[in-house]
Amino acid sequence: MKEKLEMISNLFEGKEIRSVWDSEKEDYYFSVVDVIEALTDSTNPRNYWNMLKIRLSEEEKSQLYTKCVRLKLKAHDGKMRETDTLDTEGILRLIESVPSPKAEPFKLWLAHLGKREIDSIYDPSIGIENMIDYYQNKGYSMDWIIDRINSIITRKKLTNTWEEHGVESNNEYAILTNEIYKQWSGMTASEYKKFKGIKKESLRDNMSDIEILLTHVGEVATRELTNTHNPIGLEQNKLISEVGGGIAKNTRKDLETKLGKNIIEDKY
């Protein structure tokens, strides 16, 4: 989410945290030495990081180091140099490992998130209420929030149906979802995100209520066609997903004809 990037990049008393976006993984990678420098005010953050790696290894926490990825980031001299980076999860684990007073606000933030997650396990309605509060704080209308919740339910019904028909992984779910999107919007999910100018943020959180409706139509149609025609495996389900997305495409065409305008918005 954009908020997570801002949390890491902008709240270290204005110090720059270099980052790079991995479009395939859909996650940010952050410079380890930048985070170390911001948290510790070390005059030699690279040396601090080397010492921390030794300590983590001795504590059998070396998996944090093994998750480091060497990427080229622009250095202070303007040249692109390889440096250790960690993804969002890794950088948050790093913050937890740094014994610095400046890390305490982040540790408290993570503890708060963890408590909310545990509370939601005992009482799932808390999670729903948190979601509603989040969207309201972002300025979404209650009608939009209701549509969004319904779209989550529809999506879950569809993935359950796909699983019953031999679709076995999240990667295959993504392939089938792209077939639906391509039919009615002309774009895959990643292309749709690029069109809207977003990266890690949820695509559906950046859709208008009409775009959510068309996604809903495509997924409901695909689910009902799947239950009727009983496809098995990825390839057969792709054909059904194309048909389901085509039904949403026809709905879009009818709406645009009546409205006299394109209903896919680059921003919402």
Q: How many angstroms separate the CA atoms of 21 and 195, rounded?
A: 16
Residue 27: pLDDT over 70? yes
Tens-digit pLDDT profile for residues 201-222: 889 999 988 999 999 999 999 9
Q: How many angstroms separate the CA atoms of 258 and 260, rounded?
A: 6
Closest CA to 39 of 104, 109, 93: 104
Tens-digit pLDDT profile for residues 100-134: 787 777 777 677 767 877 887 788 888 888 889 98
Tens-digit pLDDT profile for residues 164-190: 999 989 999 999 999 999 999 999 999
